[in-house]
Amino acid sequence: MRLAGVEAPKAPLGTKPSDWPLEAAAREALGAAAAGKVLELRPARVSPDRRGRALGYLTEIGDADHAGLTAALLRSGTLRVAADPAGRDCRATLAEAEAAAVRSRLGLWSEPYYEVQDASDGAALAALDGRFVVAEGRVASVRTLAGRAYVNFGRRWRGGSR
């Protein structure tokens, strides 16, 4: 099975997995959170994913929180929310749990790689071209060109909010 709506922090391009402990930490945190508990799988959708895995949420039996362990791992900064259609059932809950970890700079959100960037600084964002970036700011427009989507934070796309 795979937890719906989330991703474990994978090693950045060019980084050896052995030099990136967050991926292993996510696996260990899930194991620790599930250890000794009787859990139920609450499916996120009927069909399995392309690798044949069931998609859903693990919760303790009778738990009112449908997102269960997934939300707990997000609150600790162990996982991050993914743009995953399977997670749409609990999108608001998952986003709220992640936001708490981001605000408190817990887990992966304490790493410089995941530092939230100010979208109004176009030059700083341009310097990060080609890597994973979490940017925060007011969106001025969204465009698609040649199969790519572009999010513009200012009238002049190269300059940010000007």
Domain count, the chain: 2
Domain boundary among 110, 126, 143: 110
Q: Does residue 20 sit in the same domain as residue 66?
A: yes
CA distance 155 to 161: 7
Domain assignment of residue 125, yes or no: yes
* CATH at residue 80: 2.40.50.90
Give 10-residue mean pLDDT values along the chain (162 residues). 88 81 90 92 80 88 86 94 79 92 93 84 81 84 87 69 48
Domain assignment of residue 157, yes or no: no
Q: Does residue 80 sit in the same domain as residue 143?
A: no
Is residue 91 within 8 Å of residue 40, measured between CB atoms?
no
Q: Does residue 35 sit in the same domain as residue 106?
A: yes
Query: Which pTM value belongs to this model?
Result: 0.77
Q: Does residue 6 sit in the same domain as residue 86?
A: yes
Q: Supply the pLDDT for residue 103.
A: 92
CA distance 71 to 57: 9
Domain assignment of residue 158, yes or no: no
CA distance 4 to 91: 10
Q: Supply the pLDDT for residue 114.
A: 83
Q: Does residue 59 sit in the same domain as residue 96?
A: yes
User: Under 8 Å CB-to-CB from 137, ≥6 apart: which residues?
Assistant: 118, 119, 120, 153, 160, 161
Q: Does residue 27 sit in the same domain as residue 73?
A: yes
Q: Supply the pLDDT for residue 160.
A: 52
Q: Supply the pLDDT for residue 75.
A: 95
Q: Does residue 16 sit in the same domain as residue 89?
A: yes
- What is the domain range of residue 32? 2-110
The C-alpha angle 53, 76, 15, rounded to 5 degrees, equals: 70
Q: Does residue 38 sit in the same domain as residue 96?
A: yes
Domain assignment of residue 160, yes or no: no
Q: Does residue 101 sit in the same domain as residue 119?
A: no
Q: Does residue 91 sit in the same domain as residue 121?
A: no
